[in-house]
Amino acid sequence: MPAKALPVPTPETAPFWDGTKRHELRMQRCNDCAQFFFYPRPYCRHCFSANTEWRTLSGRGTLHTYVINHRPPPGWEEDAPYVIAIVELAEGPRLMTNIVGITDPTPDKLPIDAPVEVVWADVSDEITLPHFRLV
């Protein structure tokens, strides 16, 4: 079976992937406008400031929106149907992820804005992905 796509970190994103490997959800927060942003980049998404710092987040959030994919790409046959979602973290930023731990996912099992928490998927020696589950 073909392998699933894995990320290759770049210098700007390495602190995020170093964090996930330690099972810590780390993102950048802007010291000028006091907002988190994601994905990692040198300048704040909101105000373009360079005055940013890495912080560890709670790993709690809500199910912002999602799809349930029934037509898997190569490598995902065993997973279908599976949930690709946007989670909004308690601290504000959003990220794409998978919602795991639901057998045969259907919309009634996945209310919009339902609370979720991070779970860690150690998918290779180098890479750990942040997944989420309903709480």
Partner 1 sequence: MTLKYSVAIIGAQETDAVGFLPDMSVPHLHAQAARNAIQDAGIRRDDIDGVFTAGISPALLAEYLGIVPRHLDGTSVGGCSFMILVRHAAAAIKAGLCDVALITHGESGRSRVGATRPATDPQSPMGQFEAPYGPFGPSTMFTMGVARHMAKYGTTSEQLAAVAVSTRQWAMKNPRAMMRDPITIEDVLNSRMICWPMHLLDCCLVTDGGAALIVVSAERARSMGLDHPPVYLLGAGEAVEQQMISQMVDFTSSAGYRKAGEEAFRMAEVTHRDIQHVMFYDAFTHTPIYSLEDLGFVKKGEGGPWMAEMHGAPGGDLPMNTNGGGLSYTHTGMYGMFAIQESVRQLRGEAGERQVPGVEVGLVHGPGGMFSAAATLILTNQPGD
Look up tokens 């073909």; give the residue.
2
User: Closest approach of Cβ 66 to Zn ion, in Å?
Assistant: 28
33 scored as a contact of Zn ion (CB under 5 A): yes
Phi, psi of 102 (to 5 degrees): -120, 115
Applying CB under 8 A, among 19, 30, 61, 66 the residue interacting with partner 1 is 66
113 scored as a contact of partner 1 (CB under 8 A): yes
Applying CB under 8 A, among 1, 8, 108, 125 the residue interacting with partner 1 is 8
Q: Do 104 and 95 form a contact (C-beta atoms < 8 A)?
A: no
Q: Which residues pair with 131 in a beta bridge?
A: 119
73 scored as a contact of partner 1 (CB under 8 A): yes
What is the rounded CA–CA span in Å between residue 17 and residue 27? Answer: 10
User: Closest approach of Cβ 37 to Zn ion, in Å?
Assistant: 7
Query: Whose CA is closest to 38, among 21, 61, 66, 4?
Result: 61
Between 26 and 64, whose beta carbon lies closer to partner 1? 64
What is the rounded CA–CA span in Å between residue 42 and residue 15? Answer: 12
Binding site for partner 1 (CB under 8 A): 4-10, 13, 17, 38-39, 64-73, 76, 79, 81-82, 84, 86, 94-98, 106-107, 111-113, 123, 127, 129
